[in-house]
Structure 1
Amino acid sequence: MSPTAAERGREVRRKLLDAAVALISERGWGAVSTRVVAERAGVAPGLVHYHFSSVQALLSEAAVGAMREVGAVLEPALARAGTPAEAMAALASALDPYTGDDPTSLLFTETYLAATRDPALRAAVAEVIVDFRARLAAWLGAHGVAAPEATAAVVGAAVDGLVLQRALDPGLTSAAITPVLTRLMGGQ
């Protein structure tokens, strides 16, 4: 049975989004063009603008989608944690694959930089951050951490900063940062 036109359209869209994520990491936000994305996705260049209003719209949707996927790992990490200290250890361990120069870290760096120049992208990235903070704050509040919203904001900023700085200081591993994050929760 052949795929329907709608299924083929969804597949092309997925290929374009995947290609955009990879290219942002490899080349940088500003070096991704319609032709390059289409070539990587294995589709005609006209399909980029059929599915997206612009290359910027494609890059934004791809990057924000990837950021949401990374943020989704919070749920299982928190579900396994019984105490705030365990939650901080789980978050810190979840950062270990992000070396600062891996594709996901580079995607985040490029997206944050692009968001400083694009108000729509800035709003979309801020929404991802707010969602991450809200989920973390709800967990922290349910586990007796004082000022859970403010604590979640600081922990979220620390997580972002650690990923950004790991390219410059590979010593910022979970082993190094877990004791500090634990102290933030009031633990020893």
Structure 2
Amino acid sequence: MTRTAADRGREVRRRLVQAARELVPERGWTAVSTRTVAERAGVAPGLVHYHFASLQALLAEAAVGALREMIDGVGELLQQARTPTELVDLIAAAVDRYTGTDPASLLAVETYLAATRDPGLREQLGAVLDEFRDGVARQLREQGVPDPVATAAVLAAVVDGVLLHRALGPVPAVAQVLHRIVAEGEH
């Protein structure tokens, strides 16, 4: 079957996004260049700007897309929780998959840092986090946890904090502490 120009274009775009997802954790957001992304993707550098308005637009799409996939996966997992304690245990188990120095953790850290300097990226990343917090808050509300919106925000912040701290050294298990935060909903 013959591939069309549109198919080839989608494949180039996919390869550029994948290359960016790999390079940001390896080199850091600001050390990724058009040339390095193109080399990693196996395409001419001019194709980066053909497919994306800028290198920053490519990096944002790659990083936000990867983080959305991570968060959506955790959100789907959390749907299994029948109690606030189970919800916390599922969050803790999901976080335990990340060391703080693995590529996904580093991509998250780099993206958060870049978002402090890029309002467009901050808005995109904020939308992903808002969706996650809203989903957790909805579950907490259904499970009777007081102030579910604030509790969901704290749980999400704890996840981020644990990943940041793990990059520097071991972090004690947080599930027991988080159980106390949501325990009021189980009475």
What TM-score does the superposition give when structure 2 sets the normalisation length? 0.95
Cα deviation, residue 99, structure 1: 0.8
Residues 116-149 of structure 1 show CA distances to partners (whole Å, capped at 9, x for unaligned) of 1111111111111111101111111111111111
Cα deviation, residue 76, structure 1: 2.8
Q: Which residue of 2 aligns with 1:130?
A: 130
Cα deviation, residue 81, structure 1: 1.4
Q: Secondary structure at the match of 1:186?
A: helix
Q: Does 1:54 find its partner at 2:54?
A: yes
Q: Which residue of 2 aligns with 1:142?
A: 142
Q: Which residue of 2 aligns with 1:86?
A: 86
Q: Structure 2: how far apart are the matches of 1:159 and 1:54?
A: 31
Contact 1:99 1:167 in 2 (8 A): yes
Q: Which residue of 1 aligns with 2:177?
A: 180
Contact 2:75 2:132 in 1 (8 A): no
Q: Structure 2: how far apart are the matches of 1:67 and 1:78?
A: 16
Cα deviation, residue 151, structure 1: 0.5
Q: Secondary structure at the match of 1:68?
A: helix
Q: Structure 2: how far apart are the matches of 1:8 and 1:48?
A: 14
Cα deviation, residue 79, structure 1: 2.1
How well do the aligned residues superpose, as a CA RMSD in angstroms?
Answer: 1.2
Cα deviation, residue 167, structure 1: 1.3
Q: Structure 1: how far apart are the matches of 2:92 and 2:140?
A: 16
Q: Which residue of 2 aligns with 1:111?
A: 111
Contact 2:25 2:106 in 1 (8 A): yes
Identity %: 58
Structure 1 runs, 4 residues or longer, greater than 3 Å off:
none
Cα deviation, residue 58, structure 1: 0.4
Q: Which runs of 5+ in 2 are unaligned?
A: none
Cα deviation, residue 73, structure 1: 1.7
Residues 58-88 of structure 1 show CA distances to partners (whole Å, capped at 9, x for unaligned) of 0011110011011012233222211110110
The residue type paired with residue 20 of structure 1 is: A
Contact 2:17 2:58 in 1 (8 A): yes
What TM-score does the superposition give when structure 1 sets the normalisation length? 0.95
